[in-house]
């Protein structure tokens, strides 16, 4: 199964490629033999598109894919989470966080969502905030 994901970063292509090669926020699994990453100038001089094509085989076929979706470890969701974090790091220098999701927006948290509320002391300490 091929997983495709893309995001647009508001920076020139040469700079984005350089940051991709040196960034601590670039996901290591994307650089493996199973993934192809391409950088394309976005239309209208609006930055750079990063396209990731990841070859992924879920264990147990279609059933494995369904289980991955349920537990939040679906490959496309994970790649999109990581691309969003890279984009935030490149464009603003920080990864946005909130009290509602102190570890950031992650696909695996989507099933555990709750209404926004202040964190209790144990949650603040766990999140390192």
pLDDT in tens, 37-89: 899 999 998 999 999 988 755 555 666 556 555 555 567 777 888 888 889 88
pLDDT score for 13: 94
**Would the pTM count as exceeding 0.85?**
no
110 burial type by CB count under 10 A (0-12 exposed, 13-18 middle, 19+ buried): exposed
How many alpha carbons lie under 13 Å from residue 33 in its C-beta half-sphere?
A: 0
Name the token pair of 38: 């391409």
**Paired sense of beta strands 48-55 and 35-41, if any:** antiparallel
The CA distance from 49 to 70, in Å, is 29
DSSP-derived letter for residue 44 is: G
Q: Contact, 54 vs 2, CB < 8 A?
A: yes
What CA–CA distance (Å, rounded) separates 17 from 68?
30
């Amino acid at each position: 199964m091929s997983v495709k994901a893309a995001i647009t970063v508001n920076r020139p292509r040469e700079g984005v490629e350089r940051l991709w090669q040196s960034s601590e926020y670039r996901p290591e699994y994307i650089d493996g033999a199973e993934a192809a990453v391409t950088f394309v100038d976005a239309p209208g001089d609006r930055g750079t598109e990063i396209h990731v094509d990841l070859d992924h085989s879920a264990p147990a076929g279609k059933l494995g894919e369904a289980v991955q979706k349920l537990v939040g470890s679906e490959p496309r969701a994970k790649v999109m989470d990581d691309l969003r974090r890279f984009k935030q790091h490149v464009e603003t220098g920080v990864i946005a966080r909130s009290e509602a999701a102190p570890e950031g927006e992650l696909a695996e948290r989507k099933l555990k969502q709750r209404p926004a509320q202040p964190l209790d002391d144990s949650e603040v300490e766990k999140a390192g905030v």
